[in-house]
């Protein structure tokens, strides 16, 4: 399947409000990138703030409290295609548990994969294909409950192999460290599946810690794992992954996640949390203000003590 629209090398800088309003429809199939690090949390808050509903989401690993679970808890998600959704060091995810154990706030359809097989779904779509083969999933219960996974005999070796369907999201949100105004995005550190995701989605919104001149991009072209032609919007969102970290920019805020975990304990307290932290502010800058710039700067200093782009630490 080929892309439906062509994207030119023109200035694509806009606000997050505008990007979400322009590209996300109710009922859209969305993917929020990052893995543990570079979580596009600002974008998730904005999608929630604009009340986009009946969404389908696809992710490899989503980290609770800053990712897909926010939209699930708000009742905005009908279908969830996922390999892992949990809090990690932050503990268990009460929102996800309520959704799958008690159908609160509503039933969600779930379609599960593993991390590699989700990566293969994005890889397939990134090349315009309809599936990819993978040697995971075999013998497990995952394909028993997900009939979109096909186990076949490999036509070349005769051995069993799993086929996973391509994932072509309508819109992907990807947070990066550096991007120029036309959308050449550079990721520092591990990439997750974002290079494939940027090619798989029809529309791509890059949120970036820093907007840099194109000449700066040209100094290190190998870092550009997402070229401009994948990208439809460039949004400047410093600290856009707060909660999680952003390699070379700021460290993960572990105590923040602990607090959010407590706030999500019941559906009522989750709603109060969302009222305060999502609906109670105008935008991500309002959120940062509320978290406190001092705190954010301390997280940046902590990260940059260990790694800072272009310097030996």
Partner 1 sequence: MMTSNEYVSDYTLMELMAATMAREFRDTETAFVGIGPPLIAAMVAKFTHGPNMTIAVEGGAIGSAPRRLLTCIADSTIDEKAYSCLPMWRLFGDQQRGFFNVGLIGAAQIDKFGNLNTTAIGGYPRAKVRVAGSGGGNDIGSSVGRLLVMMRQERRRFIERVDYLTTPGFLSGGDSRQKAGLLGGGPAAVITDMGVFRFEPDSKEMYLASCHPGLEPEQVKANVSWDLKIHPDCTVTERPTREQVEIMRILDPYGLYLGNGRAQMADPEKGFDFYMKVLENSYDMMEQLYKQKS
Q: Considering the complex, state which of residue 104 and residue 212 has its C-beta at the smaller distance from partner 1.
A: 104
With binding defined as CB under 8 A, does residue 303 bind partner 1? yes
Q: Which stretch binds partner 1 (CB under 8 A): 13-21, 65-73, 136-144, 229-237?
A: 136-144
Measured CA to CA, the distance from residue 156 to residue 237 in angstroms comes to 48
With binding defined as CB under 8 A, does residue 59 bind partner 1? no
Residues 224-283 that bind partner 1 (CB under 8 A): 225, 244-248, 250-256, 258-259, 261-262
Collapsed DSSP state (helix, strand, coil) of residue 112 = strand
Residues 196-225 that bind partner 1 (CB under 8 A): 196, 225
Report residue 260 as tokens: 């959010």
Collapsed DSSP state (helix, strand, coil) of residue 185 = strand
Measured CA to CA, the distance from residue 290 to residue 40 in angstroms comes to 18
CB-based contacts of 119, cutoff 8 Å, min separation 6: 60, 193, 196
Q: According to CB under 8 A, which one of 51, 139, 213, 280 is a site residue for partner 1?
A: 139
Tell which residue, 68, 72, 81, has the closest CA to residue 40. Answer: 68
Report residue 32 as tokens: 């929020």
CB of 196 to partner 1, least distance (A): 7
Q: According to CB under 8 A, which one of 28, 37, 200, 239 is a site residue for partner 1?
A: 37
CB of 60 to partner 1, least distance (A): 7
Give me the 74-113 binding string for partner 1, x by CB under 8 A, dash otherwise: --------xxxxx-xx--x---xx--xx-x------x-xx
With binding defined as CB under 8 A, does residue 3 bind partner 1? no
Measured CA to CA, the distance from residue 131 to residue 144 in angstroms comes to 18
With binding defined as CB under 8 A, does residue 174 bind partner 1? no
CB 58 within 8 A of CB 82: yes
CB of 181 to partner 1, least distance (A): 25
CB of 27 to partner 1, least distance (A): 22
Measured CA to CA, the distance from residue 23 to residue 232 in angstroms comes to 9
């Amino acid at each position: 399947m080929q892309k439906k629209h062509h994207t030119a090398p023109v200035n694509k800088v806009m606000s997050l409000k505008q990007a979400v309003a322009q590209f996300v429809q109710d009922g859209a199939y969305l993917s929020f990138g990052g893995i543990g690090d570079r979580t596009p949390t600002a974008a998730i808050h904005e999608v929630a703030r604009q009340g986009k509903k009946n969404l389908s989401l696809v992710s490899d690993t989503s980290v609770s409290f800053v990712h897909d679970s926010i939209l699930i808890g708000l009742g905005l998600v009908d279908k969830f295609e996922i390999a892992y959704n949990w809090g990690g060091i932050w503990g268990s995810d009460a929102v996800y548990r309520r959704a799958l154990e008690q159908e609160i706030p509503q039933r969600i359809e779930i379609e599960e994969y593993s991390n590699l097989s989700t990566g293969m779904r994005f890889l397939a779509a990134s090349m315009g294909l309809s599936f990819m083969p993978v040697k995971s999933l075999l013998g497990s219960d995952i394909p028993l409950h997900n009939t979109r996974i096909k186990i076949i005999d490999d036509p070349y070796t005769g051995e069993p192999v799993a086929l996973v369907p391509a994932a072509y999201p309508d819109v992907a949100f990807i947070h990066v460290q550096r991007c120029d105004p036309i959308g050449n995005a550079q990721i520092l550190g591990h990439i997750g599946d974002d290079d494939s995701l940027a090619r798989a989605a029809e529309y791509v919104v890059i949120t970036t810690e820093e907007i840099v001149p194109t000449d700066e991009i040209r100094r290190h072209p190998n870092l550009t794992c997402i070229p401009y032609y994948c990208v439809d919007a460039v949004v400047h969102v410093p600290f856009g992954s707060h909660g999680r970290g952003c390699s070379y920019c700021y460290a993960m805020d572990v105590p923040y996640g602990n607090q959010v975990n407590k706030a999500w304990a019941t559906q009522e307290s989750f709603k109060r949390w969302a009222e305060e932290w999502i609906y109670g502010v105008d935008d991500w800058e309002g959120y940062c203000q509320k978290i406190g710039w001092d705190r954010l700067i301390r997280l940046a200093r902590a990260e940059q003590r260990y790694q800072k782009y272009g310097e030996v630490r």
